[in-house]
Amino acid sequence: MLFSLRLPVVEMTANFSVSVQQQDFDVSAELTLLREQSSQVGAIANFVGVVRDINDQQNVATLELEHYPGMTEKSISDIMAQAAERWQLLGGRVIHRIGKLSPGDQIVLVAVSSLHRGEAFAACEFIMDYLKTRAPFWKKELTPDGERWVDARDSDHSAAERWNYSF
């Protein structure tokens, strides 16, 4: 069971933060903050998720994102803490949007800073994979044919499982 055990509590520094918000984000501004946190930063890997126009052959007019206030932020913090335990990181930033979004809109930012790129890349992908399978967000597509809840993808679980995490 992917969800069956609790994560150990890991101390997070102020250099790691999570926001769940309706408004858009500015990637440059977020990366600048990460750069300014430490003169040791040599690498920032980051990922931006974008609302696609077509999903499973249906035109998406609008996407609506629901979340579980409190648990969502907590689960993402836990995932970042796990990443910070596994790799030597200098900072991390996750922003996930909620509410109504349109095709082409940014949905999520995961940015990780480190001394060297290998750790930043791995941690960024790890956080994104676990966010996809563990953070309580739900997408509803509002199409010309009506509303429908998006189904979870098996490939997202495969992506998370390849990290072989012991929980």
Partner 1 sequence: MVTVLFFARIREQLGIDRLSLILPQEPMTVSRLKQHIVDIHNPDWSDILMADNVIKAVNQEVVDDNHSLKEGDEIAFFPPVTGG
Contact footprint for partner 1 (CB under 8 A): 1, 3-4, 6, 49, 65-68, 70-71, 74-75, 96, 107-108, 117, 128, 131-140, 149-153, 156
Query: By C-beta, is 10 or 142 nearer to a copy of itself?
Result: 142
Residue 24 to residues 38, 39, 44, 153: CA-CA distances in angstroms? 26, 28, 20, 25
Q: CB of residue 57 vs partner 1: minimum separation in angstroms? A: 17
Alpha-carbon torsion (104, 110, 114, 117), positive or negative: negative
Q: Where are the beta strands (DSSP E) in 36-105?
A: 43-50, 54-55, 58-59, 62-67, 89-97, 99-101
Query: By C-beta, is 8 or 118 nearer to a copy of itself?
Result: 118
String marking each residue 40-79 x if it binds a copy of itself according to CB under 8 A = xxxxxxxxxxxxxxx-------------------------
3-state secondary structure (DSSP) of residue 113: strand
String marking each residue 88-117 x if it binds a copy of itself according to CB under 8 A = ---------------xx-x------x-xxx
Residue 123 interacting partner from a copy of itself, partner 1, none (CB closer than 5 to 8 Å by kind) = none
Residue 33 interacting partner from a copy of itself, partner 1, none (CB closer than 5 to 8 Å by kind) = none
> What's the CA dihedral at 153, 58, 140, 111 to 10 degrees?
60
Instruction: Compute the 3-state secondary structure of the chain and give helix, strand, coil in percent, each to the nearest 5.
Output: 30, 35, 35
What is the Cα–Cα distance from 28 to 99, expressed in whole angstroms? Answer: 23
Q: CB of residue 82 vs partner 1: minimum separation in angstroms? A: 14
Positions touching a copy of itself (CB under 8 A) are 26-29, 31, 35-36, 39-54, 103-104, 106, 113, 115-118, 120-121, 124-125, 128, 155, 159
